[in-house]
């Protein structure tokens, strides 16, 4: 397995975020025989999905279709794997490896990866909410909540505790 993660601050300079991530599964220790890799690249400029998976191997369908797709090869196809906020995480890759029998799972492996996956999902949800307040407020109001902007609240002076 080969891992690479690059980080930056969000456009507001407030939150530390992933700029790009790469997780590759190799069959050899030299890293020359790849099964697949999971990629994420924020603001990808080449038209491919920001979050995607690329698989190495032969495809009878590509042979049947021929032409440019066959020349490119299966490993050059970018299979989308979610949106920026709802993409794969490292725990998903670990689960894939164990579930598919590529690596043996130690007892308790599922419980061990769940807290990290849960933190990732919560962080992504918070980011999605932050980037789409209209939908967030609409949902909360539909659910019976009254939403008040923090800046518009009347603030009472704090009382000192004895």
* Tens-place pLDDT, residues 122-150: 999 999 999 999 999 999 999 999 988 87
| pLDDT tens digits along 11-33 | 889 999 999 999 999 999 999 99
DSSP 64: H
- Between CA 12 and CA 2 the distance in angstroms is 31
pLDDT at 162: 47
Instruction: Tell me the Ramachandran region of residue 31: left when phi exceeds 0, alpha when psi lies from -120 to 50, beta otherwise.
Output: left
User: Taking the model in full, what pTM does it have?
Assistant: 0.84
pLDDT at 116: 97
pLDDT of 155 higher than 60: no
pLDDT of 154 higher than 80: no
56: tokens are: 């190495």
């Amino acid at each position: 397995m080969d891992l690479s993660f690059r980080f930056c601050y969000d456009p507001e300079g407030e939150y530390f975020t992933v700029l790009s991530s790469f997780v590759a599964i190799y069959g050899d220790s030299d890293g020359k025989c790849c099964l697949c890799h999971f990629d994420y690249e924020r603001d990808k400029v080449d038209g491919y999905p920001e979050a995607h998976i690329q698989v190495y191997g032969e495809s009878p369908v590509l042979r049947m279709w021929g032409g440019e797709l066959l020349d490119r090869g299966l490993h050059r196809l970018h299979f989308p794997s979610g949106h920026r906020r709802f993409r794969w995480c490292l725990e998903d890759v670990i689960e894939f490896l164990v579930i598919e029998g590529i690596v043996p799972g130690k007892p308790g492996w599922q419980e061990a990866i769940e807290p990290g996956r849960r933190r990732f999902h919560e962080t992504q949800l918070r980011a999605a909410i932050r980037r789409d307040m209209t939908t967030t407020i609409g949902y909360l109001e539909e659910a019976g909540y009254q939403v008040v902007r923090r800046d518009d609240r009347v603030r009472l002076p704090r009382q000192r505790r004895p």
